[in-house]
Structure formats: C-alpha cells, structure tokens
Amino acid sequence: KKRVVSGVQPTGSVHLGNYLGAIKNWITLQDTYETLFFIVDLHAITLQYDARQLSEATRSTAALYLACGVDTTKASVFVQSHVREHVELMWLLSSTTPIGWLNRMIQFKEKSLKAGDENVGVALLTYPVLMASDILLYQADFVPVGEDQKQHLELTRELADRVNYLYGGKKWKKLGGRGGALFKVPEALIPPAGARVMSLTDGLSKMSKSAPSDQSRINLLDTKDVIANKIKRCKTDSLPGLEFGNPDRPECHNLLSIYQLVSGKSKEEVASECQNMNWGTFKPILTDALVDHLQPIQERYSEITSDSGHLDKILAEGASRATAIAETTLKNVYQAMGFLKR
Ligand code: AQP
C-alpha cells in the first residue's frame, strides 16, 4: 500500500477549515492508503503559545480526529513529539538546507511580518525543515496539501533530492549501507475543489485558528447556539439571489460552498436550490446543515474524552507503530551521513 501522512497543529481549536480541508478527506484516504495522522505539537510552538494549554489541546485534537471518523484499525494516530525521530532527523536535514530556501517561504514572510522580529523564534524559519522531517521519516508517497502548504511540500521534495544526491546511492553503499535513495520523494495530493474555507467575516481570507475574532470561524465543538449566532452575524452582501463563483461576492461563494460540503449535496443542487433565496432564508438552512453535520462528531468527541485512558492507549500504540518506521529511516540516514554506529 502507498503511504500517506498528514497532521493538524494543536493551536487553538480545530475549525471547519481544518475539518473540510484536511480531516474529512483523511476518512476516505484511510481506506485506500496506509495512513499516519499525527498531532503536530512541535509545530505549535513556533509562534507564541500558552504552555498551560498545549497538552490539553493536543489531547482534544487527537480526540477530534477519532470523532471525525479516523479509524485506528486502519490509521496510526499519534503525537509528533512522542516520536523523537522527528526532531533528530530535522537536525540532520538542517545541515543540508540552504538558508536561502527558507527565507523564500511565503508563510514565514507573512507570519514573521505579523508577529514582528522580536517575537519571531528561529523555529518559525526552520519550521519547513521539521515538516520535511515529518514526511521523509515515513517514506511517504503522498501528502495531502492545501494551497498554503504547497511551497513547503516543494521544499521537502527538493530536500529529499538533495540528501539522496549528497549521501545516497553508491556513497551510502561504500559506507556499508544498502545504497539507493535514502528518501522517497513525496507527491502532493490535492484535496477536492472547494475545500478552502474562508473566514466568516471576510470572504477573501482563509478561516484560521489564529484570527483574533472567534466570530470568523466555526469551531468543530461550537454549540448550536454559537453556530446560529456566528452565521446570523457573518458578513454577507445586498445583491439579490445567491450564487457560486461571482468574484464580487466572495462571502456568498464561501457560504454556499460550506453548505454544499456539510449537506453532502452537489454544487449544481445547491446552486439551483439557493439561486432565488435571500440571506434571511438561507442562513437558518445553513445553520441547520452545520449543526446536523457537527452534532454526531460532538457526541463521539464526548464519549472519547470521557475515557482518557483509552485515548492514551491509542496514542501510545500509534506512536509505537510510527517509531518502528521512523527508526529505520533515521538509522539509515545516520549511516549514510557517516556517523559512528552506536
Ligand atoms: N481555511 C481552511 N480551509 C481549508 N483547509 C484549511 N486548513 C487550515 N485552514 C484551512 C488545513 O488544515 C490542515 C491543518 O492546518 P494546521 O493546523 O497546520 O494550521 P494552518 O494550516 O496554519 O491553518 P490554521 O488552522 O488556520 O492555523 P493558522 O491560524 O496558524 O493559519 C492543513 O492541511 C491546512 O491546509
């Protein structure tokens, strides 16, 4: 089976964008591929964060994976920091990553500009090297990536090529290894169209955990009343009817797309159902569709979190399966890079 890896950061609460853009697609992927889904806690500390909340957010994100339908009889679910090899490989990869590659990363430029130089840790710059390590450690064939992560995956591919060239092949064989490529070069799996969810308060920016206003996103654990209130107050426009794809109506496109994804209807069905509606009619329909979709997830979440021993066991099993793969890769890299064997 081909292998797929993916993860979400335990910063803030998981929102509809994370769900529709990533986690929901994992449920389909786990049937076809060997899948490893992790909670990327080491990435969550690249910007200022609250240490008192990290472990709880990690546990909650793991529980949400399961509540959304990740099935641990098919997928390995674990916490990134529980597999030490991620950090260790990152150091080895860092020596091969030109700093110019990292300086070019758009996400680094945007996030560092927002945070200001004094608040930006080195880890924000080297974040893509850790991401490369997350992927290459498992010899992943595919990585599901949204638009915002494409550049990081490209860097991962270039880095894999570079390490394979510098240390793999005959050179590795001469050092007593098996020769050949050290890393598989992973490919992007582009999620289904329409899976980029935009903010409720601005149809041109993506729904995000770090946006200051909670009104801008639907969190997976929002109650019915909170969802109703957020939809009631979300940004709309005053044009007649509702339509997809009008560049002057980004909010309209976004809300119809959300409706389409949570109701399970086709784009054509939604377009014709809503073409003559006004916002007053549409908003309660969207609210109900969201609540109907999220309620079963929330119920499963409560069940899962009521037995923390069980969740810990799942995470320990996932980590041990992941470690078995990670250890082999790391051992090979140490050998190919010429380190003295332990
Ligand atoms: N708005 C979105 N629409 C579709 N997909 C999204 N993702 C995030 N936001 C949207 C996808 O969720 C996965 C995990 O994301 P992450 O935890 O690594 O965080 P992120 O990509 O930086 O996005 P967040 O959650 O909104 O955090 P901040 O506020 O830090 O930007 C990824 O697959 C991502 O594509």
CATH number of the structural domain spanning residue 297: 1.10.240.10
Q: In this structure, what token pair is assigned to residue 144?
A: 């599901």
Question: Is 111 annotated as catalytic?
Answer: yes
Which secondary-structure segment (H or E) carries 268? Answer: helix 267-274
Is 205 among the domain residues?
Answer: no
Given a cut of 60, whether residue 71 has pLDDT beyond it is yes
Contact between 179 and 169 (Cβ < 8 Å): yes
What is the pLDDT at residue 334? 98
What is the pLDDT at residue 72? 97
* pTM for this entry: 0.94
Statement to judge: residues 144 and 156 lie in one domain: yes
- Mutate which of 5, 6, 8 to test ligand 1's pocket (most atoms within 8 Å of Cβ)? 8
Statement to judge: residues 238 and 191 lie in one domain: no
Residues 90-136 pLDDT 10s: 999 999 999 999 999 998 888 888 878 788 889 999 999 999 999 99
What is the pLDDT at residue 111? 85
Statement to judge: residues 97 and 235 lie in one domain: no
- From the alpha carbon of 9, which atom of ligand 1 is closest? 17
Residue 146: CB within 6 Å of ligand 1? yes
Mean model confidence pLDDT for the chain: 94
**Count of residues making up the chain:** 342
What is the pLDDT at residue 114? 82
Dist CA 90 CA 321 (whole Å): 20
Given a cut of 90, whether residue 13 has pLDDT beyond it is no
- pLDDT > 70: what percent of the chain? 99
Statement to judge: residues 268 and 314 lie in one domain: no
b (16+ CB within 10 A) / e for 136-161: bbbbbbbbbbbeebebbbebbbebbe
Q: pLDDT-derived band of residue 194, with 50, 70 and 90 as boundaries? A: low
Is 114 among the domain residues?
Answer: yes
Statement to judge: residues 222 and 262 lie in one domain: yes
Q: pLDDT-derived band of residue 14, with 50, 70 and 90 as boundaries? A: very high
Spell out the residues 6+ positions from residue 48 whose beta carbon is closer than 8 angstroms to its own: 115, 119
Statement to judge: residues 285 and 319 lie in one domain: no
Dist CA 16 CA 23 (whole Å): 10
Is 228 among the domain residues?
Answer: yes
What is the pLDDT at residue 119? 80
Catalytic residue among 24, 206, 230, 283: 206
- The single-letter code of the amino acid at 316 is A
* Long-range own/partner contacts, residues 300-304 (CB < 8 A, 24 or more apart): 300/66, 300/67, 301/63, 301/64, 301/67, 301/220, 301/221, 304/63, 304/66, 304/67
Given a cut of 80, whether residue 195 has pLDDT beyond it is no
Given a cut of 90, whether residue 222 has pLDDT beyond it is yes
Query: Domain range for residue 43?
Result: 3-195+307-336
Catalytic residue among 24, 209, 230, 283: 209
In 3D space, the residue among 173, 170, 163, 107 whose CA is nearest the CA of residue 139 turns out to be: 163
**How many domains, the chain?**
2
Contact between 1 and 242 (Cβ < 8 Å): no
Q: pLDDT-derived band of residue 193, with 50, 70 and 90 as boundaries? A: low
What is the pLDDT at residue 160? 98
Statement to judge: residues 298 and 316 lie in one domain: no
Dist CA 230 CA 235 (whole Å): 10
ipTM, 2 decimals? 0.95
Contact between 202 and 11 (Cβ < 8 Å): no
Q: What CATH code is carried by the domain that includes residue 28?
A: 3.40.50.620
- pLDDT > 90: what percent of the chain? 87
Is 126 among the domain residues?
Answer: yes
Statement to judge: residues 158 and 219 lie in one domain: no
- Mutate which of 131, 204, 208, 216 to test ligand 1's pocket (most atoms within 8 Å of Cβ)? 208
Residues 317-340 pLDDT 10s: 999 999 999 999 999 999 999 999
Statement to judge: residues 151 and 283 lie in one domain: no
